[in-house]
Amino acid sequence: MRIFAEYLDGNSPHSIAEGLNRDGIPSPSGNDPERNPHRQSSHGAWSKSAIRAILRNPRYTGYEVWNKQRRDEVLLDVQDVALGNTTKMRWNPDEQWIWSEHPVHEAIIDSTTYEAVLARFASRTRDRVRRQRPTPRPYLLRGILFCGVCRRRMQGNWNNDVAHYRCRYPQEYALTSVIDHPKNVYLRQDTVVPRLDEWLTGMFDPANIDATCEQMAAVAMAGNEGQEAKRVMAERSLRECDRRLAKCRKLLYEGTDPKIVSEWISEVQAERLGAERTMATLAPAPAVTKDDVRRMVEAVEDKTRMLADADPITKATLYADLGITLTYEPDRRVVVVEAQPRELWAKERVGEGT
């Protein structure tokens, strides 16, 4: 396979992605966009992370592999256990992976090639030591700020003792992709947060609350947009899971090790459960009136009053509770703000400033 051969020839994942895009070879998401709606921000381009994922995937050897990852429950905030836990997927050591006894599909590479790729990865990371910061940095917009050019989440970047956010699409995706993206898109946190707080406080100020409720009620009436596409994808996932479960049963009848098949069944059932949960959330939204919204925003009013004096962790939590998402449009130096408290949302614009 070209990707493996080029990597063993000394090429980096990014240069491999460049070559694939230059030659017009579609990426996995570009080849089947309907099954990868969450990858739309890549615009069909190959990324170095996709190349790394392929290089480290043992299934290309023809064997089925289970137990590559585990689910860990971790505290949202070690200083406040009352906030509860969240689930993190983490990689297990290679020696804990479970390999099928025999190949289950046609191999693309042999085991020797795969082991050579892993050895090169290990040689490049063996001496790297991650430096632990003494204190966490207050990225208030982490996870909620998006680049308006490529629609990807912008990453926190500490520069000159000030929190910034940046999008380096060309660093992740090959420059030969179709999107015209600046080399770097930067935004200072302190140019956004004061105006964001001012907007939120104004939206839920008693003098403006009636107009806000009318706006939110009107938008909520159209809240089913895009639901049908999600339903189609969930139904397709359910059918695919059923097909794989049928294959598992066939393997059992053919004498495959039950322990291995049971691991596979567990993974497929977990995927099926996720699709079922998605289906359960796709019920049409009921009609929402101005009075309904007025009752819902009472708690939001209390939260916005806390913004001015909130510490960074509390403020970031408030943004999450209010359902804030931001999109930075660098050509206009404008941040588009969306707030979706309790499944309702309103939209306004906040200028970045100079």
pLDDT computed for residue 354 by the predictor: 39
Highest mean pLDDT among 23-27, 87-91, 96-100, 301-305: 96-100
Each residue's pLDDT tens digit, 131-141: 555 556 778 89
pLDDT at 303: 67
Q: What is the pTM of this model?
A: 0.52
Q: What pLDDT is recorded for position 353?
A: 44
CA distance 168 to 185: 7
Are the CB atoms for 185 and 172 separated by under 8 Å?
no
Complete DSSP assignment for 9-75? TT--HHHHHHHHHHTTPPPHHHH-GGG-GGGGGGTT--BHHHHHHHHT-GGGGT--EE-SEEEEEEE
Q: What's the mean pLDDT in 14-37?
A: 73
Q: What is the reported pLDDT for 126?
A: 53
Q: How confident is the model at residue 187 (pLDDT cuts 50, 70, 90)?
A: very high
- Please write the tens of the pLDDT for every residue from 145-154: 998 888 888 9
Q: Residue 215 has what pLDDT?
A: 72
